[in-house]
Structure 1
Amino acid sequence: MPYTLCTSAYQRAVYESIKRLPPLPELQEPAVCKSFIEVDIKESLYKLVECNNVIIVAGSFFGDEGKGKTVDAVAHHPECTCIARVNSGENAGHTVYDSKGRKFVFNLAPSGMLTPGKRNYIGPECVMDPISFLEKELSQLMAVGADYKNSLFVGNVCIVTPYHKLIDLLGSAANASTLKGISPVHASKVTKRGIRLDHIFNDETVMRERLAKDMETYLGLLHVLHMTDADVVQRCKDENSDGVSRVPDYVVEFAAATDKI
């Protein structure tokens, strides 16, 4: 393929030199899959647990990496007492199964929730939509009678509000966001404008003042986009028009409300 970009003679010379270099063998796709050996969990993962006081399971931003299943496996070790989710929110999805083979999908709850006798923590650097958390995650545990009240502990998380999800909807390119309000709520957290869990249970006046201040971003976005509340409601309906409820009903209700605080 000819080099067609408008560049200087020097840049073209560099390009031609690089183009003639042989490819690195290490970067070539292997012709066949490498063989692998299945190892019992006690001979592999459990040895790591027994050699360390803390096990951190981190991903590489590829998704579907097995993080939830790995945490679930670690949680089953007798020496593992606590499992903690340390950051972000319901944009993640971790699928785990209990001892009866029942499937659970957790977005924010730690993947050790199904292992008896463990303490599970949602740390203060996480962000939470309380309504979504109750409807999607705790409801799964309640349906099977899981003792989540004595095994789940929630820190002073930053709250994802309906306007965070609407900012996500109105400000993101198509298919570029999970529409969970994650980026907007982290902006609120970093600028210390949003509300945390303790604001809900303490001074209501302070909470309303913070909400009014934080909501300026949402109202400013509507002003820039020349949109009314009715326009936002219609945008929500359009997003859900294929039958998939990407924008929850309570977010649509917020968009239509006159008093948003």
Structure 2
Amino acid sequence: MSCTIIVGGFFGDEGKGKIVAHIAHQDHPTVISRGGVGPNAGHTVLVGKKEYGVRMVPSGFVYPKADLCIGPGVLVDPRVFLREVAEVEVSGRIFIDGRCGVIEEEHIARDKGSEHLAKTIGSTGSGCGPANSDRVLRVARQAKDLPELAPYIIDVAEKVNQAIDNGEPVLLEGTQGFGISLYYGTYPFVTSKDTSASQIAADNGVGPTKIDDVIVVFKAFPTRVGEGPFSTEMSLDKSHALGIQEFGTVTHRERRIGTWDGKMARYSAMINGCTQVAITGIDRVDPTCFGATSYDQLSQTAKDFIRQVEVDVGQPVTIISTGPELSQIIDLRKKR
């Protein structure tokens, strides 16, 4: 039994939601708890023909036997949270730490009304930056202050640690990506807090000695939404010619597309303390790999790409996503 953190290695949108959902179905965690900033990041999970997009509920919700938690380091927008709880039908097994900061309507107005945040930085407009600012100033309300959230309030840190101490499998779910970390990303074009694995552990009240694995998710063709440096970015004409066109889950803005960045991947893996790598979008490297469920089904081009990733990162690639649907995946963890 173990505690595993799953985080994004590039600029977000790496497909972490699918990876979390897959691991949940394979490892049967009793608790899935998310860290990260708040509802400014969206996770998409495709199960069969049904697509789910969530911003507050952990993307591991598709595994029905786990309790779902939002750690004390996360900002909660009660409107988004309550709507999602009803939409994905997780009432009774989802919990919020009472110490979570609250996003108010005025935070959203400040976010959208700020020339610097909205235009220069390319904020999602979800109110997270202003809410985190008020949290630092110690004037923000907490989740325990809102009556409508009372049925969901517990001490998440205590629940997560009890599960770990009992030898139960636990997943800690990160959001966004390393490249927009407040500390390590392309400042000032970053989010309002750190997004690395250490922060995800802290967001849930889990000490570093209790973490067994850190799975960093990298996209074969990294993407970025919003402003900021992107050293391997290609033109939209080129990405469209390659058949790659994506839109942000929260903002619906078209994502900028780049080629594999080994240097960034290596640095990201170092800061995150990566022990395993998950690669998504291998079918973009070679379309013949679409839907493959075993390593032997991959083309030599795809295998060469995976070997290069392992050289760049210095850790094994253990999970390979070959398409958007949950079953389109290769899991090598038990074979390595």
Q: TM-score, normalised by structure 1?
A: 0.51
Unaligned runs of 5+ in 2: 149-250, 252-336
Q: Assess if the C-alpha contact under 8 Å between 1:91 and 1:180 holds in 2.
A: yes
Which entry has the higher C-alpha Rg, 1 or 2?
1
Q: CA RMSD in A?
A: 2.2
Is the CA contact (8 Å cut-off) linking 2:28 and 2:65 kept in structure 1?
no
Write the letter of the residue equivalent to 2:107: H
The answer to whether the aligner puts 1:184 opposite 2:130 as a matched pair is: yes
CA distance in 2, matches of 1:198, 1:126: 13
Q: What SS is found at the alignment partner of 1:80?
A: coil
Contact 1:89 1:126 in 2 (8 A): yes
Q: 56, 60, 63: which is aligned to 2:5?
A: 56
Task: Identify the residue that residue 117 of structure 1 maps to in structure 2.
Answer: 65
CA distance in 2, matches of 1:154, 1:138: 12
Among 137, 158, 163, the alignment partner of 2:106 is 163
Structure number with higher strand proportion: 2
Shift of 1:61: 4.6
Distance 1:180 1:115, change over 3 A: same
1:6-25 equivalent positions in 2, closer than 5 A? none
Given the alignment of the two structures, is residue 138 of structure 1 paired with residue 85 of structure 2, yes or no?
Answer: yes
Letter in 2 for 1:151: R
What displacement does 1:65 show? 0.6
In 2, the alpha carbon distance for the partners of 1:130 and 1:110 equals: 15
Equivalent residues, number: 146
1:153 matched to 2:95:
yes
What SS does the corresponding residue of 1:55 show, helix, strand or coil?
strand
Work out which structure has the larger RCO, using CA pairs closer than 8 Å and 6 or more positions apart in sequence: 2
Judge conservation of contact 1:75–1:81 (CA < 8 Å) in 2.
no
Return the structure number with greater helix share: 1
Query: Stretches of 4+ moved more than 6 A in 1?
Result: none
SS at the partner of 2:61? coil
1:76 aligns with 2:19: no
Corresponding residue for 1:174?
119
Superposition map of 1:181-260 within 5 A? 181-201=127-147
1:113/1:151 contact within 8 Å kept: no
In structure 2, C-alpha distance between the alignment counterparts of 1:182 and 1:61, rounded to whole Å = 20
CA distance in 2, matches of 1:187, 1:170: 15
Matched to 2:138, the amino acid is K
Partner of 2:153: none
Change over 3 Å in CA distance of 1:129–1:107 after alignment to 2 = same
TM-score, structure 2 as length reference = 0.41
The runs of 5 or more residues in structure 1 that have no matched partner are 1-51, 203-245, 247-261
